[in-house]
Amino acid sequence: MPSKTRAETEILHNLVHQIPLATICYEEGAINDGKRSAAGNVLLLYYAATAVFLILDFAVGFNVRLSFLEPFPEARVAYYGICFFCLGIMIWRPAWTELIGAFESLVTLVALIFGMGMRTLVPTDRMLESAGGLVTPQEIINFVLAGSIAYVAWRHGISRLQAR
């Protein structure tokens, strides 16, 4: 791959600085020389486990990671796609791992809170007729697993941003 000219580098630098999150990621990569922290490696493994969660969800029917999206299969597929996209970016730019994890984890936390809140606070007729209860064991496992990892990733990412 040919190296970039000085003009191309300056154009890229100026474009990146027009987008706040991209600016942070770009500068973070320049500071860290592309190194990923130990916590970033754990986060990378969690995103790599998306393939396992996907197989468990669609092949086995055991939805642990996204039970809050159980009624919306298209949204589950989109979420898995976003997780794979995040994994790809983390592999491509290791220094961005914590920042991407922080942003995606915040989205996950909000979705979990709304998903669990709607499920427990606004029961539907279908939930009451099925006698399955308001919250299933899969949803509790999902809430604890995904919520814990998302919270840790979010806190770690935020602390890295504050340290800058």
The predicted pLDDT at position 22 comes to 44
pLDDT (average), residues 93-100 = 85
pLDDT surpasses 60 at 24: no
Span 45-79, pLDDT tens digits: 888 998 898 898 888 887 777 777 777 788 888 98
pLDDT of residue 29: 47
C-alpha closest to that of 150 among 111, 92, 94, 96: 111
Which pLDDT tens digit goes with each residue over 149-161? 888 888 888 887 7
Is residue 136 classed as helix, strand or coil in its secondary structure? coil
The pTM assigned to this predicted structure is: 0.66
Write down the H helix ranges in the chain. Answer: 6-16, 20-32, 38-48, 50-55, 73-92, 97-121, 125-130, 137-163
Contact assessment for residue 34 and residue 93, using Cβ atoms and an 8 Å cutoff:
yes
